């Protein structure tokens, strides 16, 4: 799914599964659903900012999720938790109605500097999903993940954004 086709993200905490469900809705009313474990969310929250522009890093740094600020308290214009999710029964779900449990996450940069997140399953025949994100969409996704962790009471420690340098890019940098 590329940036131009993403209409909306939705992240929900499922207490029974102790996982986050990420739903990505495209403009053509297609949705993918994936389960993200605490471990993968931790990896994403501590890796994604290093891949963004300096301007985006500053925005995320100013937010300071570890100090207990929530997005709704800070009044973010970009992330609106009160907005209704647009997916419906008529939404096409090519991977099925049940979320796919992610067992690998990788990332790479495109020539246009967009961040591509690659979610997959470990077996060779498993599903691979790629989501291409502009800095703005990556910022929004990062903030939503951080807010969902706060709601889930996961207490994930997010490193200061400038603490660790970005890894040099290979074809795909694997988080696991």
Q: Which of 35-39, 67-71, 155-159 has the lowest mean pLDDT?
A: 67-71
pLDDT digits (tens, 9 = 90+) for 72-130: 444 344 555 567 777 888 899 998 999 999 999 999 988 888 999 999 987 767 788 99
pLDDT digits (tens, 9 = 90+) for 33-43: 999 999 999 99
Distance CA 21, CA 31 (A): 12
Exposed / middle / buried, residue 99 (Cβ in 10 Å: 0-12, 13-18, 19+): buried
Distance CA 59, CA 137 (A): 13
Strand order in the sheet with 104-109: 128-133, 115-120, 104-109, 173-174
CA angle 138, 143, 144 (to 5 degrees): 100
Which two tokens mark 69?
Answer: 């600020």
Distance CA 113, CA 80 (A): 25
Indicate if the pLDDT at residue 21 is higher than 50: yes
Give the predicted TM-score (pTM) of the model. Answer: 0.79
């Amino acid at each position: 799914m590329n940036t131009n086709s993403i209409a909306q993200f939705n992240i929900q905490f499922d207490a029974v599964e102790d996982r986050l469900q990420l739903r990505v809705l495209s403009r053509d009313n297609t949705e993918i659903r994936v389960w993200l474990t605490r471990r993968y969310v931790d990896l994403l929250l501590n890796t994604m900012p290093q891949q963004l522009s300096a301007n985006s890093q500053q925005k995320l740094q100013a937010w300071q999720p570890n100090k207990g600020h929530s997005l709704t308290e800070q009044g973010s214009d970009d992330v609106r938790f009160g907005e209704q999710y647009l997916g419906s029964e008529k939404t096409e779900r090519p991977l099925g109605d049940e979320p796919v449990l992610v067992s690998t996450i990788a990332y790479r940069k495109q020539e246009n500097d967009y961040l591509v997140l690659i979610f997959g399953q470990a077996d060779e025949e498993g599903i691979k999903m790629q989501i291409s994100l502009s800095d703005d969409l990556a910022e929004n996704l990062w903030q939503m993940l951080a807010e969902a962790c706060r709601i889930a009471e996961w207490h994930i420690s997010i490193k200061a954004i400038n603490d660790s340098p970005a890894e040099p890019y290979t074809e795909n940098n694997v988080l696991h």
